Amino acid sequence: MHDLVIDHDKVLVFKKDQTIELPRKEFEILWLLASKPGRVFTREEIFDKIWGADVIVGNRTIDVHIRKLREHIGEEYIKTMKGIGYKFDF
């Protein structure tokens, strides 16, 4: 059984007995990655799906959000695929 539960309707994450409230963009990134565990999402895909193609954000924006997500939920769930993007693993 997984110790991480993502509740899309409540926009909350539960880890063991802890409730984790994430900022909106961090939650959206987590929801995207967790929607297809093991699949690598490129940085471009994440930008397009979370911010939209018309929005311009800084080059390090995804890195900062991923770092903060790891601080909230733990290092073990989001893996960096060097030079490609990120994936979610249980």
Q: Is the pLDDT of residue 37 over 50?
A: yes
| Domains of the chain, first to last | 22-88 (1.10.10.10)
The predicted pLDDT at position 57 comes to: 73
pTM (2 d.p.): 0.91
Mind listing the pLDDT tens digit for each residue in 48-74? 999 987 777 777 889 999 999 999 999
Instruction: Return mean pLDDT, the chain.
Output: 92
Q: Is the pLDDT of residue 42 over 50?
A: yes
> Looking at this protein, which amino acid is placed at residue 7?
D
Q: Is 11 left (phi over 0), alpha (psi -120 to 50) or beta?
A: left
Is there a contact between 75 and 69 (Cβ–Cβ < 8 Å)?
A: no
Q: Is the pLDDT of residue 1 over 60?
A: no
* CA-to-CA dists, residue 15 to 12, 20, 41, 78, angstroms: 10, 7, 23, 15
| Pair type for strands 41-42 and 85-88 | antiparallel
Please choose, from the candidates 46, 49, 2, 8, the residue with its C-alpha nearest in 3D space to the C-alpha of residue 27. Answer: 8
* CA-to-CA dists, residue 85 to 19, 53, 61, angstroms: 27, 17, 13
